């Protein structure tokens, strides 16, 4: 082949958030590059004070977001999905690590009309737009069910670390919305968050195994920050665990470190969960995995998903 026919690949832009490393990095974390709140100029229900709290803490808790009658309707929809025998054993239905009790059902805004309507509800999407500052789509949706006494916890992690490494999400332009469908109290495993942790990206050590999602959705071990980095972050910022009545809304930044304890009470804890990603931040090839996770875990803009899809 002649020299003039040889072509070189285009240079690859350096990854600002390298992770799944072979050894502990020299620095425990990197400073965040993107602004947290990007849509202060847009109209919406969040006040300047609420946006400031989200900017500072990386999350915002709003008790009483939905009235009881709407919570009852969503709870009924959740029960319908959890009890669908034809969904049991499907890839998008996740069970507890040591039992057949259902832990999560994914892609719920494609599986049930009630969750489809909620994902498009202006009361929710206007808040999302104020934070993201641009057009968005649902990157992921799910219902989480943590049964009384049996519901296990989840290790500390940043969702963005996983979405960046395994889904190919380029930047921190995503926000999660969790509407709790049962009262959250101190003993039924509420979500714990580290306020201010969203301002730093913590690289994790260890390569991504193939089909890692099959294990990580039950018990995550890869993509978990080191204990030293977590201790330093918690010593700096502390831990918060918002609790409140069913119908409350928790908005949190994609990079906020969070986790949960096991449910030590007889009361179940359940929520419906949407991840809104900005359209200009749609996923590309994974940054630290050989292939992207299945589409029920990472949707694409304007592309439908069905229960028989992979």
Q: Does 207 reside within a domain?
A: yes
Domain of residue 104: give its range.
Answer: 28-281
| 29-32: Cβ within 8 A, 24+ apart | 29/200, 29/201, 29/202, 29/203, 29/229, 29/233, 30/200, 30/201, 30/203, 31/199, 31/200, 31/201, 32/172, 32/198, 32/199, 32/200, 32/201, 32/255
Residue 204 lies in a domain: yes
Place of tokens 């690859």: 12
At residue 230, the pLDDT reads 96
Measured CA to CA, the distance from residue 109 to residue 274 in angstroms comes to 9
Mean residue pLDDT of the chain comes to 91
Tell me the two tokens of residue 60.
């915002």
Q: Does some domain include residue 233?
A: yes
CB-based contact 263:167 (threshold 8 Å): no
**Inside any domain, residue 51:** yes
Whether 4 maps to a domain, the answer reads no
Residue 286 belongs to a domain = no
Q: What is the pTM of this model?
A: 0.93
CA distance 263 to 185: 10
φ, ψ at 115 (rounded to 5°): -80, -30
What distance in Å separates the CA atoms of residue 231 and residue 198, rounded to the nearest whole number? 15
DSSP string for 152-187: --EEEE-HHHHIIIII---SS-EEEEEEESS-B-TT
Alpha helical stretches, state H, 210-266: 213-216, 227-237
Residue bearing tokens 């994609």: 254
pLDDT of residue 153: 81
Task: Give residue 33's pLDDT.
Answer: 97
Low-confidence ranges of the chain (pLDDT < 70): 1-13, 97-98, 218, 310
Asked whether residue 115 is assigned to any structural domain, the reply reads yes
CATH number of the structural domain spanning residue 215: 2.60.120.620
In a domain, 172, yes or no: yes
Distance (Å, whole) CA 129 – CA 149: 38
In the chain, how many domains are there?
1
Total Cβ atoms within 10 A of residue 192: 17
Environment class of 56 (CB within 10 Å of its CB; exposed 0-12, middle 13-18, buried 19+): middle
Which pLDDT value is given to residue 310?
55
pLDDT of residue 12: 47
């Amino acid at each position: 082949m002649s020299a003039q026919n040889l072509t070189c690949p285009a240079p690859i832009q350096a990854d600002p958030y390298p992770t799944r490393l072979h050894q502990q990095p020299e620095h425990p974390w990197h400073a965040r590059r993107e602004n947290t709140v990007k849509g202060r100029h847009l109209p919406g229900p969040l006040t300047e004070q609420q946006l400031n709290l989200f900017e500072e803490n990386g999350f915002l808790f709003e008790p009483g977001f939905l009235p009881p009658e709407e919570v009852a309707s969503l709870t009924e929809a959740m029960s319908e999905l959890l009890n669908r025998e034809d969904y049991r054993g499907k890839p998008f239905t996740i069970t507890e690590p040591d039992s057949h009790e259902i832990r999560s059902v994914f892609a719920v805004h494609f599986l049930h009309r009630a969750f489809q309507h909620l994902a498009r509800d202006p009361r929710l999407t206007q808040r999302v737009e104020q934070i993201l500052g641009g057009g968005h789509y649902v990157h992921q949706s799910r219902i989480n069910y943590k049964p009384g006494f049996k519901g296990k916890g989840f290790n500390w992690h940043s969702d963005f670390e996983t979405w960046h490494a395994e889904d190919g999400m380029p930047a921190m332009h995503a926000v999660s919305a969790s509407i709790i469908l049962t009262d959250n109290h101190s003993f039924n495993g509420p979500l714990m968050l580290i306020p201010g942790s969203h301002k730093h990206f913590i690289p994790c050590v260890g390569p991504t195994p193939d089909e890692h999602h099959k294990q990580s959705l039950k018990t995550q071990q890869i993509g978990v920050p080191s204990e030293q980095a977590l201790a330093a972050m918690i010593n700096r910022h502390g831990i918060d665990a918002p609790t409140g009545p069913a119908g409350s809304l928790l908005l949190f930044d994609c990079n906020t470190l969070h986790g949960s304890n096991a449910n030590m009470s007889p009361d179940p804890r359940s929520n419906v969960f949407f991840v809104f990603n900005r359209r200009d931040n749609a996923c590309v090839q994974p940054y630290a995995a050989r292939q992207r996770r299945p589409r029920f875990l990472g949707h694409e803009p304007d592309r439908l998903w069905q229960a028989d899809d992979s």
